[in-house]
Amino acid sequence: MPIGMIVVKWDNRRGTVLEARFPPSLRVDPDLTMKIYGSHVLGEAREANLISIRVDDLRIISYFGGIEINRYVAILLSEAEDPEDYEEVVVEVASRIFDQIEGGEYLEHLEDLFKLIEQYPHMSIEQKVARLFLDPMKVFVLQKLREKGLMTLDQLSGEIKHAFGLRTVDMRSVLSPLVKLDLVVTRWIEGASSEVAFLVRDCEILRVPPRTKKVPRDIRSSVIALFSKYKPDSREAMVLARALTDPDTYRVLSCIRKKGVVSIEEIRDEVDIPSGELFDILGWLERNRFIEMRGEEVFPLSEPLLLIFFPEYQLRKMIELYGNVESWDEGLRQYLMLLKESYMEMMREKR
C-alpha cells in the first residue's frame, strides 16, 4: 500500500514548502522534500519530469510540473513496492492537481485522488485503458491519431489547444498513460520538428449482451429489446468506462454476471458494500440499462466490454493517403516498422 502522497512547491526563499499531504497524519521530513526536488532539477529523470528514487527505506515516485508550475506531486511507497506500478497514476493525479492549483480546489479531492492511487496498481489492463475514456483530452488524442496514424507532438498540442481553448498543454502528461499502456509510441525522427507519436494499438469500449450462459429465459426479451433499439449517444463511452473502472460498481457487476440472476441479499454478502451505497450502485446500473431489477431479484441486461486491437485499418489508410511505398518518408517507414512490432507483440500475448 502507498504510505501517502504530498504536494510540494518550490519557493526561492524558503526552499521546498509542503502544500498538501494525504493522509493528514502523514509525517514528512523537510529534508526529504528537498531531496526529491533536487532529483527533479538535477535531471536524473528517466522520463522528463518523472523520477523514481529511494531514500532510506522509502521508495518515491514523483512528477514535477515544470518551472512554471514549480511544484511536484510525489507518492511515498514502502520498500516492498514497485514505483513503476504508479507511473501513470502519479502523472494523472499530478496533472489534475496542477489544473486546480490556483484556488487550491484540489485540496477537497485529496482523499479521492489518494484512493485512486491505491487502487490503480490492482486494476486490469482493460480497466486502465477504460479510464482513458473518462478524460476528454485523451479521447481527443486517440481520435486524432486514428485519423492520421502519426502526428508530431507540436501538431497534437496545437490541435488540443485549439479544441480545448488552452494556452499550454503538458504533452508529456497527456501522452504518458497512452504510452505506458502500449497504445502509442513516441520517437524522434530525422527532419521532424518535434517528437512523433504513432498509434500502434487501438481500443474501443462497447456495450454487449450479458456474456453469461445463465441469462434466464424471461429476461431475454428485455435484452433483445435493448439491443434492437441500441444507439450509443455521446455520453455512452463515459458510462461504459465508469462501469468498468469504478471498483465497487465493477465488483457488483461481476457478481451479477457470474451468477446470472441474484438477489440483493446475495450481492450484499458477496461484495461487502454498505447497504446505502449498494442501492446507489444498483440504481445507477439500472438507470444505465446494465441490469433490470424485479423486486428483490437482479437480472443482467448488458455489460461493458473493452477491446484492445491491432489497428489494421491504418495500413490501408497509409496506402490511400500517401500513395506508393517508394515515395514514403521516414515517418511512414517508421510507422510501418512499429505496426509490425506491435502486431508481433500482440500475437505473442495472445498465445
Partner 1 sequence: MIRQIYIYKKDDLRLIFHRKYANIGRINFDEISQLILPVARAMDDGVIDHSEIFRYRISYGTLGDYIVVMINNRSCDREEVEGALTEYLRDVASQRFNSPLSVEEERHLSILSRRVIATIPAKVCFVGFGGVGKTTLLRLLRHERIPLRYEPTMFGERAIMTLPIGPYRVILFTVGGQERFMPIWDILIRGSDVVVVVTDSTPDNVERTKSQIMPMIRDPARYSVILAIANKQDLPKSLPADVIEQTLGIKTYGCVAIDPAYRSKIMDVIKSALLS
Pairwise CA distance, residues 223 & 215, whole Å: 9
Query: Which of 24, 25, 27, 42 is the binder for partner 1 (CB under 8 A)?
Result: 42
Pairwise CA distance, residues 106 & 96, whole Å: 8
Q: Could you say whether residue 54 binds partner 1 (CB under 8 A)?
A: no
Nearest residue to 208 (alpha-carbon basis) of 181, 236, 247: 236
Contacting range for partner 1; rule: CB under 8 A; set: 13-21, 101-109, 174-182, 259-267 = 13-21
Q: Which is nearer to partner 1, 11 or 111 (CB)?
A: 11
Q: Which is nearer to partner 1, 38 or 323 (CB)?
A: 38
Q: What is the DSSP string of 63-74?
A: EE--TTT-EEEE
Contacting range for partner 1; rule: CB under 8 A; set: 5-13, 207-215, 224-232, 270-278 = 5-13
Contacting range for partner 1; rule: CB under 8 A; set: 30-38, 169-177, 229-237, 246-254 = 30-38
Nearest residue to 130 (alpha-carbon basis) of 250, 273, 8, 295: 250
Contacting range for partner 1; rule: CB under 8 A; set: 37-45, 228-236, 254-262, 307-315 = 37-45
Q: Could you say whether residue 38 binds partner 1 (CB under 8 A)?
A: yes
Q: Which is nearer to partner 1, 13 or 316 (CB)?
A: 13
Q: Which is nearer to partner 1, 104 or 283 (CB)?
A: 104
Sequence-distant (≥ 6) Cβ neighbours of residue 21 within 8 angstroms: 4, 5, 6, 7, 28
Query: Which of 8, 22, 39, 303 is the binder for partner 1 (CB under 8 A)?
Result: 39
Sequence-distant (≥ 6) Cβ neighbours of residue 194 within 8 angstroms: 152, 153, 154
In 64-152, where does DSSP find H-type helix? 87-99, 110-119, 125-132, 136-148
Nearest residue to 305 (alpha-carbon basis) of 204, 235, 229: 204
Q: Could you say whether residue 30 binds partner 1 (CB under 8 A)?
A: yes
Q: How far is the CB of 34 from partner 1 (least distance, A)?
A: 6
C-alpha cell at 47: 522520463
Q: How far is the CB of 79 from partner 1 (least distance, A)?
A: 20
Query: Which of 12, 221, 228, 234 is the binder for partner 1 (CB under 8 A)?
Result: 12
Q: How far is the CB of 71 from partner 1 (least distance, A)?
A: 14
> Residue count at the site for partner 1 (CB under 8 A)?
16
Q: Could you say whether residue 104 binds partner 1 (CB under 8 A)?
A: no
Q: Could you say whether residue 37 binds partner 1 (CB under 8 A)?
A: yes
Helix or strand holding residue 261 (H, E): none
Q: Which is nearer to partner 1, 68 or 320 (CB)?
A: 68
Q: Could you say whether residue 99 binds partner 1 (CB under 8 A)?
A: no
Q: Could you say whether residue 34 binds partner 1 (CB under 8 A)?
A: yes
User: In 3-state terms, what secondary structure has residue 343?
Assistant: helix
CB 329 within 8 A of CB 319: no
Q: How far is the CB of 15 from partner 1 (least distance, A)?
A: 4
Q: How far is the CB of 32 from partner 1 (least distance, A)?
A: 12
Q: Could you say whether residue 15 binds partner 1 (CB under 8 A)?
A: yes
Nearest residue to 98 (alpha-carbon basis) of 152, 19, 154: 19
For the stretch 144-168, what's the b/e string if a residue is b when 16 or more beta carbons lie within 10 angstroms of its beta carbon? bbeebbbbbbebbbebbeeeeeeee
Nearest residue to 334 (alpha-carbon basis) of 166, 152, 211, 205: 152
Q: Enumerate binding residues for partner 1 (CB under 8 A).
A: 10-16, 30-31, 34-35, 37-39, 41-42
